[in-house]
Amino acid sequence: MNFTLPAAAAALLALAPSAAADLTTYTQDFEGLDIASPTALDADGWKIFANVFNATGGYLYGYGTFAAPNGGPGFSAIASGLGGAAQGAQYVNAYSDYNNVDHGNGNYIEANLFQEQTIGAADVGNTWTFDFDYLKAPFTNGDGDSTTIAFIKVLKLSDGSFSTLAFPTVDTTGASDINWASGSISLTIDPTWAGELLQVGFSSTATAYNDTGRYYDNISFDAPGSMPPSLSPYAQDFENLGLADPAALAGDSWNIFANVFDPMGGYLYGYGVFDAPNGGAGFSAIATGDGGPTQMLQYLNAYSDYGNADHANGNVINANVFQEQTIGAVDVGNTWRFAFDYRKNATVTNGDGATTTQAFIKVIKVSDGSFATLFLNEFDSTSASTAAWASMALDILIDPTFAGEVLQFGYSSFATNYADSGRYYDNIQWGPVSNPGLGSIVCLGNPTSTGFDAPLTAVGSDVAADNDLTLNVDGLPMNAIGYFVHSSGGQLVYNPGMSEGHICIASFDMGRFSMTPQNSGAAGSVSMAIDLTSLPTTSGPLAILAGDTRSFQYWTRDTAMGGGATSNFSSAISITFQ
């Protein structure tokens, strides 16, 4: 249900400050507040406001802004007794206004608990982050259709309209009542917001006295170093993470989220974002025992949430394990690459069923609170081998509209009926690519005897009529003979002819440039201009036309680990010509 707040009512949500000022850092763990004092939250600057809607989402009225109470049936209280090691003894409980009799009339109460400040000119361009821990309060009347969120909100104070200029949120509706989780919201201050009002806090929407209590702790609102956001390189081979440490993945900033769909694909509900577990029935674990020479001992196992009973109801669980970062203005125009090794878990438990698995890069629009997907690049790892590792990479070119939004990279699965979904991932690399070249990646190559893979890149033009395409391969063994191959796109074949590598463009129409073999020389590299009017095939020369898609890879002689002669393959790319 969409609860829309009129601008006139939104104006009531804010108290106009007397003068413009810059944002200031705020932190609170609630340990130093007097749990018995009814004014403890008020004295710390907390405020409340409520909006009331009818059952169809129509706005009825609002009330506030008032000082936040500490205790009682409405809005807020300092609580204790369920803190973890990181939360200590006390935290805040944010909940609905159960004093409002409209709970019993089928109307919906939106209860807000927040801090507010005025944005100053010096804040422009800085990114402020609202961090917090959260836990669901114990059961009282049941959840019903209650929803809860944490938020940053910017309201237009300067013209008196109090219209919403920004409203990024984190949904805490699906919070665990056992394990604390952590949330984070970031917002880059726009030049047009100087002098406007910024609020950070928590909100619930509920009717019929349904449960809404959420515990929040370790609150921090700051702009570390007053530096704008930017993407950061990340690398992980999982060798140094504690195999037996349940917080090992969370400590490395891995997150989880799940969406649940009915058998027809209709969305039912979601839960998260939570810290990624290391082990157990749901989502993720560091695994061992099936690594290859370059994967070594440990790697990530990403799988479904088998702790969700909807597996047995025929519903589909979409389980996501991911890292996330905020895109900065400095990232615009750059290409970033997510590279990884992958393999299927060889252990058969219940069979694959209709399970699918993916790796992904995703950009989510947080600036307006919609969380709409702005970009999605996926690789389907469903058919991964149970016996051999392969490598893949996904690229993203940062669009100007992505600045300030959230980027996620990681792994997902869609499964039901407890079907198998485990996929192993290792040697993760996330970073900028200075010269990605033309086309898109089909696969990465296995390491050659040099210890590194052999990347293939294409330069020139993807306009067929230009006939200007050059293929380059680096990282090859020195003085090794090889040749390029091409196809219209095919399948991955592991270790063909006892090769150390994989060909991932195998197809009935695959052609070989075997009449023009290359020698990698002392530099371990080759380069070849491709005549797009005459590609070699078994049925004669092929001319590439606008609209055609062609994939390219390189085969090379190599030396096996034991010293014997073998072969290997470069990475592969696919180009759709204009």
Model confidence at 561, in pLDDT bands (50, 70, 90)?
A: confident
Q: Give the burial class of 462: count Cβ atoms within 10 A of its Cβ; 0-12 exposed, 13-18 middle, 19 or more buried.
A: middle
pLDDT of residue 368: 75
Residue 476, number of CB atoms within 10 A of its CB: 28
The domains spanning 7-224 and 234-433 adopt the same CATH topology: yes
Rounded CA-CA distance 103/98 in Å is 7
Based on C-alpha coordinates, what's the Rg of the chain?
28
Residue 225 has pLDDT above 60, yes or no: no
The structure tokens 């702009």 sit at 223
Using CA of residue 365, residue 371, residue 374, residue 378, what is the dihedral sign?
Answer: positive
Residue 5 has pLDDT above 70, yes or no: no
Torsion angle of the four alpha carbons 471, 544, 437, 337, in this order, in degrees rounded to the nearest 10: -110
Lowest-pLDDT range of 17-26, 318-327, 393-402, 423-432: 17-26
440-576 has CATH 1.20.1300 classification: no
Whether 502 and 494 have beta carbons less than 8 Å apart is answered as yes
Model confidence at 224, in pLDDT bands (50, 70, 90)?
A: low
193 in helix, strand or coil?
helix
Alpha-carbon separation of residue 523 from 280, 283, 452, 474 (angstroms)? 48, 44, 14, 8
Whether 257 and 318 have beta carbons less than 8 Å apart is answered as no
Residue 20 has pLDDT above 50, yes or no: no
Phi, psi of 352 (to 5 degrees): -75, -35
Residue 560 has pLDDT above 50, yes or no: yes
State pTM to two decimals: 0.63
345 in helix, strand or coil?
coil
Instruction: Using alpha carbons, select from 435, 430, 380 the residue that is nearest to residue 407.
Output: 430
Segment (H or E) for 433: strand 423-433
Using CA of residue 392, residue 398, residue 401, residue 406, what is the dihedral sign?
Answer: positive
Question: For all residues of the chain together, what is the average pLDDT?
Answer: 93
| Sequence-distant (≥ 6) Cβ neighbours of residue 404 within 8 angstroms | 127, 187, 188, 229, 326, 327, 328, 329, 366, 367
Q: What's the pLDDT tens digit per position in 115-125?
A: 999 999 888 88
The structure tokens 């092929």 sit at 542
324 in helix, strand or coil?
strand
Assign domain 7-224 to a CATH class: mainly beta
How far is residue 173 CA from its own chain's centroid? 19
Residue 229 has pLDDT above 80, yes or no: no
For residues 230 and 261, the model is more confident at: 261
pLDDT of residue 19: 38
442 in helix, strand or coil?
strand
pLDDT of residue 3: 57
Beta-strand (E) ranges in 39-194? 47-53, 59-67, 74-80, 90-97, 108-118, 127-136, 147-155, 164-166, 169-171, 181-188
Q: Give the burial class of 411: count Cβ atoms within 10 A of its Cβ; 0-12 exposed, 13-18 middle, 19 or more buried.
A: buried
Rounded CA-CA distance 364/361 in Å is 10
pLDDT of residue 404: 84
pLDDT of residue 227: 57
| Sequence-distant (≥ 6) Cβ neighbours of residue 371 within 8 angstroms | 364, 365
Whether 152 and 166 have beta carbons less than 8 Å apart is answered as yes
For residues 144 and 5, the model is more confident at: 144
**Homologous superfamily of the 234-433 domain (CATH):** Galactose-binding domain-like (2.60.120.260)
How far is residue 245 CA from its own chain's centroid? 23
96 in helix, strand or coil?
strand
Model confidence at 255, in pLDDT bands (50, 70, 90)?
A: very high
How far is residue 62 CA from its own chain's centroid? 36
Model confidence at 489, in pLDDT bands (50, 70, 90)?
A: confident
- Lookup: tokens for 116: 């507010």
Q: What's the pLDDT tens digit per position in 352-380?
A: 999 999 999 999 988 777 889 999 999 99
Residue 333 has pLDDT above 60, yes or no: yes
Q: Can you tell me the mean pLDDT for 257-272?
A: 96
Written in H, E and C, the secondary structure of 259-323 is: EEECCCCCEEEEEEEEECCCCCCEEEEEEECCCCCCCCCEEEEEEEECCCHHHHHCCEEEEEEEE
Model confidence at 556, in pLDDT bands (50, 70, 90)?
A: very high
Q: What's the pLDDT tens digit per position in 271-299?
A: 989 999 999 999 999 999 999 999 999 99
Domain ranges of the chain: 7-224, 234-433, 440-576
Model confidence at 16, in pLDDT bands (50, 70, 90)?
A: very low
pLDDT of residue 13: 38
Residue 435 has pLDDT above 90, yes or no: no
464 in helix, strand or coil?
helix
Torsion angle of the four alpha carbons 362, 366, 371, 376, in this order, in degrees rounded to the nearest 10: -20
pLDDT of residue 21: 58
pLDDT of residue 82: 95
Residue 17 has pLDDT above 80, yes or no: no
How far is residue 373 CA from its own chain's centroid? 11
Percent of the chain with pLDDT over 70: 96
- Lookup: tokens for 35: 């749990």
Percent of the chain with pLDDT over 90: 83
